[in-house]
Amino acid sequence: MSRSFLLLLASSRPDGNTELLARAAAGHLPPGTEQRWVRLAERPLPDFSDVRHADGPRAAPVGEEADLLDATLAATDVVIASPLYWYTLSAEAKRYLYHRSGWLRLPGRDFKAAMAGRTLWGVTAMAGDAGTAGPLVGALHHTAAYMGMRFGGVLLGNGTRPGDVLADTGALERAGTFFAREAPLARFPQAADASAG
C-alpha cells in the first residue's frame, strides 16, 4: 500500500528549527511518496467548542476545518511538527487535536475507526535535555493509543535560534531513517483507557 503523509507544521513562525528538522526527515522518504504540508498558523481553525452533552448531532465542519478533516482522513501517516513550548505541544497543535476530538462525534464519519491502524509521528525542536519533551511525547503517544493508531515516536532536535538544528548532527542522522522505522501499535500503560476530551 502506498503511503500518504500529512505533515502539520504547528509553529507560530515559518522556517523554524522544527520545520527544518521535519523537512530533513521527509527528504528521505521514498521517491513518489505523497506529502501534503499544512502550516496551521496560516490556516487557523476556529475556537473549539465541546458539545458532547448538547442536544442533537455535531454540525459538519466547514472551511479550513473541513479541509483539514479530509486531509487527515486521506493520510496513512500524520506528522505533527510542533516546537516544544512550555514542555508540551504548541497552541496550534493542541487546537488541531481538540478538533479531532470533535470529529469523533460527527455523524456518518466514524473518524476513530477510520484512523485505526494509521501512524502518528512527531517532530520537535527544543533547547536542552530530551527529557523535558516527555509531556509532548506522552500527549502524542496517548492520542495514538486512544485512536487505535500506530506511533512512530518523536524525532527530537536541539535548537533555539533559527537554523540551530542544522548543527545538531545527531538529529539529522536520526532524520535520515526516522520515517523508515517500524511503528508499533500504541497502547496505554497497563491497558488503561483515557478520554480524548
pLDDT at residue 81, rounded to an integer:
98
- Structural domain count of the chain: 1
**CATH number for the domain including 93?**
3.40.50.360
Tell whether 171 is covered by a domain: yes
Domain span at residue 111 reads 4-48+58-183
The predicted model scores a pTM of: 0.91
Tell whether 120 is covered by a domain: yes
Q: How confident is the model at residue 151 (pLDDT cuts 50, 70, 90)?
A: very high
In angstroms, the CA 105 to CA 37 distance is 26
Q: How confident is the model at residue 197 (pLDDT cuts 50, 70, 90)?
A: low
Q: Count of CB atoms within 10 A of residue 177's CB? A: 10
